[in-house]
Structure 1
Amino acid sequence: MEHTQLRQVTDLADPALDDYLRMTDVRLRSRVEVERGLFMAESYEVISRAIEAGMAPRSFLMNEKWLAKFAPLYEQFPEVPVYFGEESLVAQLTGFNLHRGALASMQRPELPNVEELLRDARTVAVLEDIVDHTNVGAMFRSAAALGVDAVLVTPQCADPLYRRSIRVSMGTVFQVPWTRLDAWPAAGVDLLHEAGFDVLALALTDGAVPLDEVDLGPDRRVAFVLGAEGHGLKPATLGAVDAHVVIPMAGGVDSLNVAAASAVVFWQRRAALAAAAQELRA
């Protein structure tokens, strides 16, 4: 059977390939991908998870040797072009070698509004100005694994749909409902309060309550606010939330990487909910 969707790459100036230009320029890509309404999925596992989550591919790009492996994915979309070529030519286009086999340019989904996202949620994570894509991806993976219902990202937070974030999250950014806040902190905290959430900031402040002393049981709708490493949460955020929470440390260590801290906090909430459910069954 002839695959009419297969298009060999011969001319790097072809406008049809523009989605894949200058992939290593983080600042440019972060802007262009949002403006053009696309994001990039990389590797068989991530592309398949994106498709399973209902994401629509615009095109695929891969080295010629990977055509057979990725056929089960792209053949689901016979109208979508599949660009392929020699490794050196494809690397010249993207700026790096496709060690993970292929890229897929996907249509960026429309994000839900905050009220819609919070309606049925009980546990929420707020990522305040986390600019490192690796941390964003790791936090989404922890959120998915440990039962967080939704994630809110502030206006200055890195894009969860940037290629590195998606890769580190192992595609869980397609699994956990999320959206971007229009304003933070005041308006965002107000929205959480209106939805019935207690807003807890992870912060090394005087008077912060140790995490293992916080009531995280099922009677509370909880939103955890996590800030960028270094300067931490904004003073305005610390003043707007309901309480400051700290993870108890040992060994002279004052804090964890924000991605690691998020996993600890999400686990503590999950454990509290599980303990309460166990008591009800007893």
Structure 2
Amino acid sequence: MARVVEVDDAADPRLADFRDLARADRRPDRPGGRGLVLAEGTVVVRRLLASPYPPRALLGVARRVDDLAPELTGVDVPAYVTDADTMAHVVGFHLNRGVLASADRAPAPGLPALLAGARRVALLEGVNDHENLGALFRNAAALGVDAVIVGPGCADPLYRRSVRVSMGHVLRVPFATAGLDEAVAGLRDAGFVLAALTPGGDPGALAALADRERVALLLGAEGPGLSAEALERADVRVRIPMAGGVDSLNVATAGAVAFHAVAGVPR
């Protein structure tokens, strides 16, 4: 059972995992810093506690910590309970969701292990907006994508904003980071068809991918899209059919449409 500890001092050193989250140079969830995973709000904290990421501590107001009592039954971590003002002083801003949890990062699988049982994979290139990245992971979880390869130029999926926007699904969708050449070679070795989403693609080719056994969808950054190198490595270039005068969608929205189109028979 989590150990409930009441605190009333924002300077308490035991709250270090949650301190100064508004300061980019001190953020504990930076890969170059302490590299922690931070979950915000009861829904996301629940998903963190059910994930492979080892929890370290919680900080929240009494009502939110009480809401998590069933999930905390078998968790041996401190749950620091304080008031909203003290929590705001610790975090650096007022946290509407009332609870945070910290965890250590889990080891990422290698590409062969990541792809071993997957049928639908997203390969991301240059997706450097944390909110778009989080939304892509949420869409992947909802629409049958088994794994995500976080390619070159992408933001950190475990940054707090990405975790929050994904509603914690970044903690349950398996992912690995890889360079473009490594990712393409791994996907080809595993028998995937590589389909690049691009405004110049074939609007009739996307739906046909639903019949293929293994499909990897390549998605690029909003604006520049996929690099020339990524497009050259694709087996097929596809686009989402759209009404006249519109040639593109937000990358997370485009991902959702494409994930649904290639999902095939529900499993």
* Aligned pairs (5 A) from 1:110-125: 110-125=107-122
Checking the alignment, whether the CA contact within 8 Å between 1:203 and 1:246 is kept in structure 2 is yes
1:200 and 2:217 matched:
no
What is the identity, as a one-letter code, of the residue corresponding to 2:238? V
**2:44 maps to what in 1?**
46
Distance 1:50 1:108 in 2: 11
Find 2:175's aligned residue among 164, 169, 178: 178
**1:101 maps to what in 2?**
98
Find 1:17's aligned residue among 15, 18, 24: 15
Mean alpha-carbon deviation: is it higher for 260-269 or for 136-145?
136-145
Where structure 1 has 5 or more consecutive residues not aligned to the other structure, the ranges are 278-282
What is the identity, as a one-letter code, of the residue corresponding to 1:97? H
Find 1:263's aligned residue among 252, 256, 265: 256
CA shift for structure 1 position 251: 3.6
**1:231 maps to what in 2?**
224
Mean alpha-carbon deviation: is it higher for 250-259 or for 9-18?
9-18
Checking the alignment, whether the CA contact within 8 Å between 1:199 and 1:223 is kept in structure 2 is yes
* Aligned pairs (5 A) from 1:243-258: 243-258=236-251
Distance 2:43 2:208 in 1: 38
CA shift for structure 1 position 41: 1.0
Checking the alignment, whether the CA contact within 8 Å between 2:124 and 2:148 is kept in structure 1 is yes
Task: Output the TM-score relative to the length of structure 1.
Answer: 0.85
Distance 2:242 2:28 in 1: 35
1:145 and 2:138 matched:
no
CA deviation profile, 1:13-71 (whole Å, cap 9, x unmatched): 44322211221245753763564242011111111122223432101101244343333
Mean alpha-carbon deviation: is it higher for 14-23 or for 211-220?
211-220
Distance 1:58 1:228 in 2: 33
The count of corresponding residues between Structure 1 and Structure 2 is 267
Q: Which runs of 4+ in 1 moved over 4 A?
A: 211-214
Aligned to 2:208, what secondary structure does the other structure show?
Answer: coil
**1:127 maps to what in 2?**
124
**1:280 maps to what in 2?**
none
* Structure 2 CA distance for partners of 1:6 and 1:28, relative to 1, 3 Å: same
Checking the alignment, whether the CA contact within 8 Å between 1:30 and 1:159 is kept in structure 2 is no
* Structure 2 CA distance for partners of 1:44 and 1:137, relative to 1, 3 Å: same
Mean alpha-carbon deviation: is it higher for 15-24 or for 39-48?
15-24
Identity of aligned residues (%): 43
Find 1:73's aligned residue among 65, 71, 79: 71
**2:182 maps to what in 1?**
187
* Structure 2 CA distance for partners of 1:129 and 1:31, relative to 1, 3 Å: farther
CA shift for structure 1 position 235: 1.7
Over the residues paired in the alignment, what is the CA RMSD in angstroms?
Answer: 2.5
More helix by share: 1
What is the identity, as a one-letter code, of the residue corresponding to 1:89? T
Distance 1:86 1:213 in 2: 52
Checking the alignment, whether the CA contact within 8 Å between 1:63 and 1:86 is kept in structure 2 is yes
